Structure 1
């Protein structure tokens, strides 16, 4: 299970019940789910420390996170879990690092440096499988990032935070690993942790010995996340 609390309060969907944010299943969903990257604490902790420092405390109900999909439908949960199990079987943990900070409306985001292409490849493989039922938001383009400040009306405060974060990241690059995926159930204002899918990274010999092919497994075989690692990271 993740290091952080398994229940996270939020009211994002209650505040924005727009069609843009809802799954395209043609029915009212019992629940929706959020899919995030599971990272080692060597990068998760400094990102969360920045969020704790700069995000308005009364609105900060989640630790810093890197979201792949925002509203996955309950009616497709069995299909999605099968796909995620397949990816976790063949994917290896891969390195990531902090990149360049940028302004996002009334806040600040931090992009990925190392690992951005691998994250986008992972997202694209899943989006191709799930396109028929994704929300309009989740069907669109995706830029992997952490949001460490948002919903701040004072422009001077946002600018000062951006400059502070930019100096920090100029002096320090934070490194870690993506080691799997976490899926969360949204339930009346809370994120309830549901399940983790840890990357196992089977070898080519392992793959050849397994029967069956097609779909998300074949898309994932050629992805660069299967490369070996050259560094040791804190788990």
Structure 2
């Protein structure tokens, strides 16, 4: 039996925010290594099972705001730090649902961020964070849903979307 590729779970952003982060990523990510759009990863490796799909499909909630509060140095890159109690709550709920299926990276600390530069030198990262920090002001982005991706050894293939348009009345 052939092993299935792992799945990655990300937050779908509003179009304006997604466009902004994609433009930043195109501008600052090494082009030969930039295989993906900008993304906010919730889980890096989930099993490709019907149960995973069901858990994602049952993540019903309304859209919510998230704060982009600062730039962070990743060592060999730069990211925008994202802060949201609703996001933390969502991740905790999903973490409980996926409990026995999580890899160590996904079991431990969650640092919500959107990477715009990676796989560079520490000096390039330091220079970019200094440049962007000069004009940085916190701003708000919107979480519209969850995207599930299949990891293909570099690029990703979109496997599903769960909207956050659920309103419990």
- Structure-2 residue corresponding to 1:44: 18
1:188 Cα shift? 4.4
1:65 to 2:32 alignment: no
> Could you list the per-position Cα deviations for residues 171-216 of structure 1 after superposition, in whole angstroms to 9, with x for gaps in the alignment?
xx44331111000112344311011101132324xxxxxxxxxxxx
Structure exhibiting the larger radius of gyration computed from Cα positions: 1
How many pairs are equivalent?
168
Question: Which of the numbers 144, 152, 162 marks the counterpart of 1:179?
Answer: 144
Q: TM-score, normalised by structure 1?
A: 0.67
Query: Which of 110, 132, 141 is the aligned partner of 1:165?
Result: 132
Query: Root-mean-square deviation (CA), in Å?
Result: 1.7
Q: Select which of 89, 108, 112 maps to 1:144.
A: 112
**Other structure's SS at 2:150 match:** strand
How much does 1:143 deviate? Answer: 0.9
Residue 154 of structure 1 deviates from its aligned partner by 5.5
Residue pair 2:147, 2:162 contacting (<8 A) in 1 also: yes
Aligned in 2, Cα 1:189/1:111: closer, same or farther, shift over 3 Å? Answer: closer
Asked whether the 8 Å contact 2:75–2:125 carries over to 1, the reply is: no
As a proportion of its length, which structure holds more strand? Answer: 2
Structure 1 position 56, deviation (Å)? 0.9
- Any stretches of 5+ residues in structure 2 without a counterpart? none
Identify the residue that residue 81 of structure 1 maps to in structure 2: 53
Spell out structure 1 runs of 4+ moving beyond 3 A: none
Matches within 5 A, 1:23-42: 29-42=3-16
Of 65-74 and 181-190, deviating more is: 181-190
- 2: distance between equivalents of 1:168 and 1:63? 24
Which residue is equivalent to 1:126? 94
Q: Which residue of 2 aligns with 1:212?
A: none
User: For 1:125 and 1:196, how far apart are their aligned partners in 2?
Assistant: 18
Decide which structure has greater helix share.
1
